Each structure stands twice: as C-alpha cells, then as structure tokens.
C-alpha cells in the first residue's frame, strides 16, 4: 500500500503516483483535484479551520483495478481518504472528488462511495489522416492539427474528464511514421530529422495518456507496406495511393516486414499498451481461414518477438468469401471465435464488433454487424479466453450536437452481457481535430473540433464508467460551462431533439458508412428522396414500412407496432416540445448560442422528416388507388417538408460552413447547398 497526504503546498512526485506494471498514473488527476481545491479556496468557500483538512491518498491493490473508495475516516469529517486499487483507480477517485468540489459541494457533506467501472474498456476511436482508410479532404485537412501535441494534450484532458480510458489510433499502415525497422532500412519514408519529430510526438502523446490513466492502442489493417518499402522492392503498388480493396501480397518478404514492424513498434514505445488488427482490407482472394493464418504467422509472432507484453484487439474476418466487402455468416464467425480461443497473446486479448454496422446511433438493439445479421457465436457461450467490445460508430451527425443519456443507458442495459468488456465510440468519416465546421465570423470559439461536441464524450464515457450517473450530473456539467440554470433546459431539449437522427436511421436503414448520413438526409445516391422513403424497410421489426402499412390495410400489424403516421406524429410532437424546453435560452450568444441553435435545427429536421414521410405515404396511397385526395395530401406535405428544410438551411447557414463530406465526394455539404436537390424532389410530387 502507498499512502501520502495531499496538502495545498505539497508537491507529490509522479513516480509515487505511477503503477510500475501498467505505467498508468494518477498524476494528472491529483493535479486536477489540487486545482479544484484552489478554486474553492479562491471563491471563499473554505472556512477558517477547513484549510487544515487532510485528504489522504492511497493505492491498495486489494480494492481492484480502476476501483476507488472515498470516505471520511474521522467523525469530525476533517479527514478524507481516497483509495484506489491501482493508479488508474486512484485517479478516478480524485476526479470524482474534484467534480463534487467544482459543483460547490462541501467536502464534509460528500458521501462515501465505492465505485468500480461498469466497463474496463471505454475507448475513443480517432482516425489518423496519414495512410488513412479513405482518401478525402475531410481527413486530409487534419494533417497539421494532428501533428500538434497541443491537440492530443487537449483531447486527452477531455477524455480523462469524460472517464474515457483508451485512445485508439487508426491507420491502414501507421508503422512508417512511427518507427524505423532495423531489418528494413529501405522502408523509411522520411528523412532522419522528420522521423525524429514523429517519434518525439508519439512518445509525448503516449506518455501524456498514461499520466491521465489512459491506455493507447494503435490499430492497422492488412496487407500493406510503407511507401519506401514499396518503391525499394517494387511490391504492393496499391500502397502508393492506399487503395485498400483487392488482393494483397502474401509473400514471405511482406510477412517478414510486417512481423518486424509489429515488434519494432512495441519496442520503440514503452508507453504503448497494445495494438489492434483488422483481417479485411487487402486480404482479397483469401478465405477467412487464410486470413486467420496471416495473423497467427505474422502478427502474433511479432508480438512475442517484442521485449515486453502488450494487449491485442483482434477483429475477426468481416468477409465470409474471398472479397473485401462486408459479408459474414455463422461459419466465418466460428472461424473468428476459434482463432480467438487458440491464439497465444502475451497480453490482454479482446475483439471488437461493429454494433449495427457503421450506424450505432440508431437503435440500441443489435440488428446487424459488419457484413449482415449477427449470430451469437462470439458471445454464446460467454468467452473465457478473450473479451468482447462494441464499436458504436457515428457516421450520422458531424455538425449538430447530440446528447441523449437515456439512449446510452438503454444501450448498456440491453447489450452489457457477460463477456462484454466495453465500448468504442468514434467515426470513420470524421476526425475531431481541426474545427472546419464553425464559421469564423460567428461569436463562437473552439480550438479543436471535439470541443464542439464536448457533451457527447461525457455522456458515453461517464455512463460507461457508471450507468447510474444521473441526469443532474450532466446538468451540473452544463451549468459549470455556461452558467447556473442552463443545464436543466438544455439537457432536456437535447434529449428530445436527439431522437431525430436515431429515428431517421432506424426508419431508413443502412449498412456501411456511405449508405446514410442522417443529419443531412443523405444516402449514396444523394438526398433521400420521396421514392426512397416509400421503399425503405426499417431496421426494427416492430417499425412498419410504408409498403407494409398499406398491405396491412393501414393498421398496425401487431401489438406495439409503430406505423408511419404514428412515427411522423412523434417527430412533430417532439420538435415542438424540444423548442418549448429550449425557449428560456433563446437569444444566447457564443458557444451556448450554437448549442441552442442546434436544438432548433434538429426540430426543423424532425419536422422535415415527418412531413416527407407523410408525403411519401400519401403518394404511395395515390399510386395504389388513384384517389385525387391522396395526391393533394402528398403535395401539401411535400410543401411543408420543403418549408422546414428551408428554415433548417436558414438557421444553420449563419453558423456553419459548407464542409467536405465523404458521402458527397467533391460536393461540399450544408443544408443550403442541398436546397435545390430537396426542392426538385419535393416539387416532383
């Protein structure tokens, strides 16, 4: 057991706060607690004798990993104790107490607690713009931001505040801008000075993560090489432009190179906690069994060659056949489970499954994974040798802020089954680094993109840490940011308005990234048309499509079925209610003003969706029966849908720039930019 007393004037060494095994530290959290104590004293909230209050910090392994206990050990409450099962647990305890102080709580009144995180993996997915999964301006524009340590430091600060405990970095082949491989000097793609700059950056990032109790993992795909290696050996020409679809080079040379990359990466960065591997890209022409063999013959040996153990996230094959597309079946998932059960990994082993493919913000029920409908192979029976994590991707709202703690709680309740170690949140098509969304001529100010959606990270991180976290906690966070009394109406409005993208995604359905962008009402072909609405088959079986509703004689097909008219009614009612809740904050300026504007934007999008749905329903009725009244109703709903899109465009145009968006290719996205397309579709009715 390590014990020491926290006093205002006392400096505690980082070494005493660091776990020698994991390298994780409570140093940042202790400093954060000290700052909260100083702010409290500065506000005059410390009574005369209270300055002598002692807060004793302790690390006691018997408590358990990441677990902490806060208690008053003397009857006069002048003595508090925070004990963590490890450095990460101690850090979480310090943050818990700091939050209470920042809310204005008196330490004497803070109740004793014992909290063990609900999930041990609370991960953020951040794509790197180098050797990126896709090539697009929306990723390239973050090049300079992600080279700046100040971005990573700010992001890690926010992750720690949000109780997210793992930073995962994703690139097709990150090795050439992280390491020099001794056996393959020709693989170097940068001059020595630039390579040194890269390594200084990553060492600082990984060290800063550990100081905040956050693990780091580097994720990559197969089969790729560095541009320098490609040129030197005249192989893997697809690495010249990072084209990831097709067959890969499975030669012995490429295997040796990748094995050395894995070993060198681990040996170069002492504060790197693990790697993640995807068995999909550039593994065309290989069966699931052959892809598994690649991992066993290349990646696992590379890990064993390293001088220390690290963890592995092993993503099972996404394709049941020989192509790169998403197609799974029970047999391919069984191969994945067999691999997970037999691989000999020197550290922690877990796998990650895409929850509802690329659109995790839809329904909290698991309806599909990458490749199609899921089986229960990976979790039934619960695994013993490996753990499971869910990837809740967000490819549906990059501009408008979203926040619904009830959705997160329900997600955890339904899917936190035995064997699930945690969750990932993040995007493939959006990087939260450079703020390329906010207009520079507004009165809102953000240094980094993630700051725009600050509450999103708090909701997921804190509820994954403790699902019992009440709404009042998030209201208090909002009050601290924007002023007393703001949290109540803003969170209430966000929870109602936040249903909009969930309903759009659930009704329209989806597969991979570009099949839907909910806040823009976009699919691969462009805007979601009236015809798309008629043909849509909702992902939820108890949501009726327009066709199914008409075939059932415009009656619910069973108890608790949601019909298109009922869905539209909910959207309209919630739009009105959200704006009613946010009314006390109308007229706000600065960053709060943007939060308020987004509620109105979601409300207008909800009304647009509702009337477009009703227009599609009326048009389908007209096409089936030829009644002129149905065509008249379709025209009226189309007119109103267009009116609400026009309002949506008007209020967002003043705040947000047209942005690059992968689903649109070279066409910039804004609701104003899409006005003509929406108008043409609706006027055609």
Mean pLDDT check: name the lowest of 131-135, 234-238, 385-389, 545-549. Answer: 131-135
Please state the separation of Cα 226 from the chain's center in Å. 28
> What's the start-to-end Cα distance of the chain, in Å?
73
Give all domains of the chain, ordered by start, each with its CATH number: 2-115 (3.30.379), 121-469 (3.20.20.80), 495-683 (no CATH)
Q: Encode pLDDT of 156-215 as tens digits.
A: 999 999 999 999 999 999 999 999 999 999 999 999 999 999 999 999 999 999 999 999
Kindly report the number of other CB atoms within 10 A of residue 112's CB atom. Answer: 11
| Structure confidence at residue 680 (pLDDT) | 96
Q: What is the mean pLDDT of residues 34-47?
A: 72
The model's confidence at residue 320, banded by pLDDT at 50, 70 and 90, is confident
The whole-angstrom separation of Cα 639 and Cα 633 is 10
Q: Encode pLDDT of 635-657 as tens digits.
A: 999 999 999 999 999 999 999 99
CA distance to 67, 366, 407, per residue, from 93 (Å): 8, 33, 26
Closest-CA residue to 5 (of 86, 63, 73):
73
Residues, the chain: 685
The whole-angstrom separation of Cα 297 and Cα 301 is 6
The whole-angstrom separation of Cα 510 and Cα 522 is 11
Query: Residue 227: helix, strand or coil by DSSP?
Result: helix
| Structure confidence at residue 15 (pLDDT) | 76
Per the listing, tokens 């934007």 go with 601
User: Does 12 score more than 90 pLDDT?
Assistant: no
Mean pLDDT check: name the lowest of 290-294, 331-335, 436-440, 543-547. Answer: 331-335
The whole-angstrom separation of Cα 617 and Cα 381 is 44
Torsion of Cα atoms, 68 then 73 then 79 then 83, to 10°: -20
Helix axes 149-162, 192-211, angle to 10 degrees: 20
Query: Residue 574: helix, strand or coil by DSSP?
Result: helix
The whole-angstrom separation of Cα 25 and Cα 12 is 12
Contact present, 281 and 221 (Cβ < 8 Å): yes
């Amino acid at each position: 057991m390590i014990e020491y007393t926290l006093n205002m004037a006392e400096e505690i060494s980082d070494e005493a706060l660091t776990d020698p095994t994991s390298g994780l530290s409570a140093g940042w959290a202790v400093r954060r607690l000290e700052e909260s104590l100083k702010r409290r004293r500065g506000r005059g909230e410390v009574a005369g004798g209270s300055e002598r209050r002692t807060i004793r910090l302790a690390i006691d392994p018997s408590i358990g990993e990441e677990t902490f206990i806060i208690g008053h050990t003397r009857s006069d409450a002048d003595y508090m104790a925070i004990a963590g099962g490890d450095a990460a647990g101690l850090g979480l305890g310090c943050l818990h107490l700091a939050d209470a102080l920042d809310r204005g709580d008196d330490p004497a009144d803070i109740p004793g607690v014992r909290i063990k995180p609900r999930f041990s993996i609370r991960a953020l997915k951040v794509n790197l713009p180098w050797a990126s999964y896709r090539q697009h301006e929306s990723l390239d524009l973050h090049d300079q931001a992600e080279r700046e340590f100040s971005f990573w430091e700010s992001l890690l600060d926010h992750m720690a505040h949000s109780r997210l405990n793992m930073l995962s970095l994703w690139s097709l082949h990150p090795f050439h801008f992280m390491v020099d491989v001794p056996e393959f000097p020709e693989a170097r793609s940068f001059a020595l000075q630039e390579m040194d700059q890269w390594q200084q950056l990553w060492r600082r990032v990984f060290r800063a993560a550990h100081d905040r109790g956050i693990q780091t993992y580097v994720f990559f795909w197969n089969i790729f090489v560095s541009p320098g290696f490609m040129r030197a050996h005249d192989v893997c020409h697809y690495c010249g432009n990072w084209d990831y679809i097709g067959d890969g080079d499975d030669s012995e040379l490429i295997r040796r190179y990748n094995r050395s990359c894995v070993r060198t990466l681990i040996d170069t960065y002492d504060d790197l906690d693990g790697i993640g591997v995807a068995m999909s890209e550039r593994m065309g022409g290989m069966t699931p069994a052959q892809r598994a063999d690649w991992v066993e013959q290349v990646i696992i040996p590379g890990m064993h060659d390293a001088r220390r153990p690290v963890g592995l996230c092993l993503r099972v094959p996404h394709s049941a056949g020989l192509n790169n597309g998403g197609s799974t079946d029970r047999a391919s998932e069984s191969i994945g489970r067999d691999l997970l059960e037999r691989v000999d990994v020197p550290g922690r082993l877990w796998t990650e499954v895409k929850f509802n493919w690329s659109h995790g913000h839809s329904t909290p029920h698991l309806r599909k994974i990458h490749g199609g409908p899921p089986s229960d192979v990976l979790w039934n029976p619960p695994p013993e040798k490996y753990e499971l994590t869910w990837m809740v991707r967000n490819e549906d709202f990059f501009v408008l802020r979203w926040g619904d703690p009830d959705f997160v709680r329900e997600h955890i309740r339904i899917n936190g089954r035995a064997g699930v170690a945690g969750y990932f949140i993040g995007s493939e098509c959006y990087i939260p680094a450079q703020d390329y969304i906010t207009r520079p001529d507004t009165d809102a100010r953000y240094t980094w993109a993630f700051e725009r959606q600050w509450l999103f990270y708090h909701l997921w991180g804190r509820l994954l840490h403790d699902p019992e976290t009440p709404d009042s906690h998030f209201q208090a966070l909002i009050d601290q940011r924007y002023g007393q009394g703001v949290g109540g109406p803003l969170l209430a409005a966000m929870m109602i308005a936040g249903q909009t993208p969930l309903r759009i995604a659930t009704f329209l359905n989806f597969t991979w990234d570009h099949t839907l962008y909910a806040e823009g009402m976009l699919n691969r072909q462009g805007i979601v048309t009236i015809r798309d609405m008629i043909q849509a088959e909702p992902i939820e079986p108890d949501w009726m499509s327009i066709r199914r509703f008409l075939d059932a004689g415009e009656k619910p097909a069973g108890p608790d079925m949601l019909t298109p008219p009922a869905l539209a009614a909910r959207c309209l009612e919630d739009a009105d209610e959200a704006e009613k809740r946010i009314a006390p904050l109308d007229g706000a300026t600065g960053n709060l003003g943007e939060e308020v504007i987004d509620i109105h934007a979601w409300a207008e999008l909800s009304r647009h969706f509702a009337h477009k749905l009703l227009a599609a329903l009326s048009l389908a009725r007209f096409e089936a029966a030829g009644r002129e009244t149905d065509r008249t109703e379709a025209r009226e709903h189309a007119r109103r849908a267009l009116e609400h899109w026009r309002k949506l465009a008007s209020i967002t145009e003043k705040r947000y720039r047209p942005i690059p968006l992968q689903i649109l290719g070279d066409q910039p996205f804004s609701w104003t930019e899409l006005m003509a397309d929406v108008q043409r579709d609706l006027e055609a009715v």
